[in-house]
Chain A
Amino acid sequence: MVSLPIAPVASSAPAGGGYSSAQIARASAWIRELAPACPPAVAGDAAQSFLDELRERSPDLVDRMLAPNFPMHDFESALLRNVSLHLTGPGFDSLRAELARRRAQSVLARDGSRSPAPPAGIDALLGKIKALSEARYRSLLEGRMEDDDLAFYLKRADDSGTPRPAPATAGGPSASAIVAEYIRRNQTGSALQRWHAYVLEARVQTAAGETQQLCLYRLRPDRFRLTVSAGGVSRFIQAGDGEQFWQQVPGSPIQTVSRAKMGSRRYLAEFIDPLLSAEGYAFERLPDGGSGGGRFFRIRVRRSDDSTYVARIDALSYRQTGREEEDGSIVGFSDFREVAGVTFAFHEEVTDRAGQKGSMTLTRLTVNPGLIEDFFAPSPQGEQAFFEFENMLARARPAERPPQP
């Protein structure tokens, strides 16, 4: 969870490469085999993110994938999910639906407890999932639904004659049990331990209707650097190097900013969502809430400086769907995606006390991109050269590339 005080965020581009041409070619060929209608550009991106996912599960898998005995069927659904994830343009509805069908087939085939369903049966199950929740079906089409979740929903659709258990009421799990379950559900294994740094790029729509680009860099344990730009030109930099906060705007020298003046932005130094890091925070369960027919747990998160906020955790999915801030604003999170083993909300909507709304959509999330501590400390010469270079690059003429042989 990003928890920026301004507004919401959006999606991810795979980090780094490091794959051989043969591995990328193998994954692309497999995509062509499973989804012949997939455009080549999408296949390339999907192959890359599939390899990222494979490497995330176990680096050995990527090395083994060129071996003839590689258990491809076990990863068919993951591959198809990555293809769906990259089919972002219009006109892919039928392809997305076909991929969802194939995924369901693949997941059911992997589940030894049930016999494979015929195509008509698959369509019926998917129809039930759609009838139960349009949003859930859409997340399946868009490749945002994990295999475990898909298996769960397919099973539920299969058993839809069975009455649903009554929702738990307050008096159920404790705050610490909810947080522990939240960590378990929103992280694959101990994926977060491998996160040393990351970069978020986002598009922000302010309450005044202005659009800004935002780059947030974070390095363990508590360094951050926020660059806000509009029209390709940086407007200001705000950063914390673990000891002090500082900021700079073009044409002015670097200013040191006190903690008090930073306000809630000082929490940008939190490397990750407090609910995921858990250590150093106190949690308290408040009466549950509900919206749109769903129930959510309300957990008060208290920081070491005594500031608090209330996290809303969906009682069924254990996603953090919202936050109640101390200043009365409400943040809503949606579009959950898994990046390098950790679930992130790629869209946030903030409604302040006066009812004004802003939003933020993540456009890229890169894990371990190669951030260094010096980048977070104020440069001895200031960042004027950075602003000058940014301006020069903003004026750069379109690239002319010599043709390949």
Chain B
Amino acid sequence: MNANSRPPRRFDARRIAVVAGLGLFLVYVLFVVTGFVWVNYGLKNRRITFAQVALFRWKEVRRDMAVQQLAQARAAWNAKDLPAAYLAFTSAVRNDPNNVEARCLAARFFVAVGAPKDAISLLEAGLDLAPTDRQLMTQLLAILTTEGRDVRALELLHGRFAAQLAGSRDAVLPTYEVLATLNIYGAGAAKQLLKKYPAMQENAESAPVVARVLWESGDRLKAMDVLAEYLRGERSDFARYALLATWQTASGMASDARQTTERACARFPNEIPPRIALIDVLPVDSPEWRRAVEAYLNDFGNRPESILSLADLAGHRGWVGLARTLYAVGASRLANLHILAMAYSDALARNSQFSQARQVLAQLEAQTADNDTRIGPLLRDRQIVIAAALGDHDGAREFARRLSTALRGDPGAIELQRRRFAQLRIPEAVDELSHAAGQSGASPRQ
């Protein structure tokens, strides 16, 4: 049969299959090229190869993207570009949820920028994926016990982490259990618990918690010995030096306290807190105190937080003149003076000038937006204390009500404040916050 004589077959199945296949192939090529261009140039992830996109290795692609985003996040954090760092960290964790290192670093970032709630959520989400990961557990417990959310820490230790706590060969998890117990139930309960974990006595990393239990049980000399021994290991945690210096000062060992802070200053020459601690332990207005203040301003005066840190100390110690001077100096350098003004009111209150302190806080209140979640709670906290000091029970209750409104949606913070006011013996505030805690579902345990 002659091929030329064959009638044309318009619906040849083979031709249709070829055309359809070609069409699908072109769609595939278009899709892959677009995807590659978008990932490489749109999202600027240059590590992603064409083959990864072409072979649909999405997990690999996302993991590689996460690596790059993590690097971007670190760079942005170093450059203080916090919004960019925030976006990069959240994207990195979303793209590679199993990367524990990335998750832990992101959590540290959230804590550093004052968002511990986000850090806690991030770590808890990580534990949903890796329930037995020690790094996630310890970082979560560290944040919870540092942020005053000890109730939650104990809930986790006795619930989700119970198996790990029971089978724990080292002292890490028990240390957090003792610490949270100490923070909530006091030294007696913590001391009882400590007997259950003899390994903690031998473990150097548990020493600060053991020392705190000893100190709060009244065994002060032994507590200072334990902490001093711990610090001989050239620790990188300044807070322990400050704690030891505070204990030494409280025990009348001024020269030891000075030595401790001087060691801390030598260990952390570029840090502000050790220098503040040194100014704190020196006799106020003495020549060495003046020299320390002058050296501090010379070394750190160009950092905005230097004035805030010194003002905080002045408020805490009741140095009214210094607090006022720092307020005036800060006024020409800082856009927001609320913190400096609160330090000044603290100083007034320390000198029992409660009426003046109350006036200062009222002036600040007029300049604080109702929805200011940063300044609002700090202001209310002080207003409650001052009202209670002036015997204004209704005022203390009203400010506590406003504080609970400001903290609504954060039961952990409400519980923390409730415990604080219980310690300060301000029953109106405790009642009001207990009521708020009950409404928000927080456990009102003491």
A: residues with CB less than 8 A from B are 13-18, 20-22, 24-25, 27-29, 40-41, 43-44, 47, 55, 59, 62-63, 196-197, 199, 201, 215, 217, 219, 227, 229, 234, 364, 366, 368-375, 379, 381, 383, 385-386, 389-390, 392-393, 395-405
Does B360 reach chain A (CB closer than 8 Å)?
Answer: yes
**B interface residue numbers (CB < 8 A to A):** 74, 77-78, 81-84, 86-87, 105, 108, 110, 112-113, 115, 118, 270-271, 294, 297-303, 321-322, 324-329, 331-333, 335-341, 344, 356, 359-360, 363-364, 366-375
Which residues of A lie under 8 Å from residue B375 when comparing CB positions?
16, 18
**Do B115 and A400 touch across chains, with their CB atoms under 8 A apart?**
no
- Does the CB pair B325–A40 fall under 8 Å? no
B86 partner, pick from A21, A55, A199, beta carbons under 8 A: A21
Pick the most buried of B77, B363, B367: most chain A CB atoms within 10 A of its CB: B367
Checking B74, B110, B270, B363 against A402 with a beta-carbon cut-off of 8 angstroms, the contacting residue is B270
Contacts of A28 in B (CB 8 A): 83-84, 87
Q: State whether A372 touches B369 (Cβ < 8 A).
A: no
Which of A41, A366, A393, A405 touches B105 (beta carbons < 8 Å)?
Answer: A405
Contact of A404 among B78, B271, B356 (CB under 8 A): B78
Which of A219, A375, A392 interacts with B301 by CB under 8 Å?
A392
A11 to chain B, nearest CB (A): 13
Taking A16-B335, A59-B369 as contacts, is the C-beta distance between A397 and B302 under 8 angstroms? yes
Give A364 to B83 CA distance when docked, in angstroms.
23
Complex alpha-carbon distance, A44 and B86, angstroms: 12
Could you give 8 example pairs across A and B, Cβ below 8 Å?
A: A14-B335, A18-B369, A22-B86, A59-B369, A385-B325, A389-B326, A396-B300, A399-B303
Cα-based distance from A292 to B368 in the complex (angstroms) = 44
> A21 vs B366: C-alpha distance in the bound complex, in angstroms?
25
Contact between A372 and B360, CB atoms less than 8 A apart: yes
- A396–B301 Cα distance when bound, in Å, is 5
Check B78 against A369 for contact (C-beta < 8 Å): no
- Contacts of A44 on B, CB cut-off 8 Å? 81, 83-84
Smallest CB gap from A215: residue in B: B332
Least distance between A381 CB and chain B CB atoms (Å) = 6
In the assembled complex, the Cα of A340 lies from the Cα of B294 at a distance in Å of: 38
Q: B364 and A372: CB pair below 8 A?
A: yes
Complex: A389 Cα to B145 Cα, angstroms: 38
User: A18-B369, A369-B336 provided; 19 other pairs, C-beta below 8 A?
Assistant: A16-B336, A24-B82, A24-B86, A40-B81, A40-B84, A44-B81, A368-B366, A368-B368, A370-B340, A372-B360, A372-B363, A373-B363, A374-B344, A374-B360, A375-B328, A379-B324, A390-B329, A393-B329, A400-B270
Q: Which residue of B lies closest to A229 (CB)?
A: B332
How far apart are B122's CB and chain A's nearest CB, in angstroms?
Answer: 13
Once the chains bind, are B367 and A370 in contact (CB under 8 Å)?
yes
In whole angstroms, what is the CA distance A28 to B83 when docked?
Answer: 7
Q: In the complex, which residues of chain B have a beta carbon less than 8 angstroms from the beta carbon of A16?
A: 335-336, 372, 375
With contacts A379-B324, A393-B297 taken as known, whether A21 is within 8 angstroms of B336 at the C-beta atoms is: no
A383 to B329, CA, bound (A): 10
A389–B335 CB distance below 8 A:
no
Q: How far is the CB of A145 from chain B (nearest CB, A)?
A: 25
With a cutoff of 8 Å between Cβ atoms, the chain A residues found around residue B113 in the complex are 21
Complexed CA–CA distance, A393 and B336 (Å) = 19
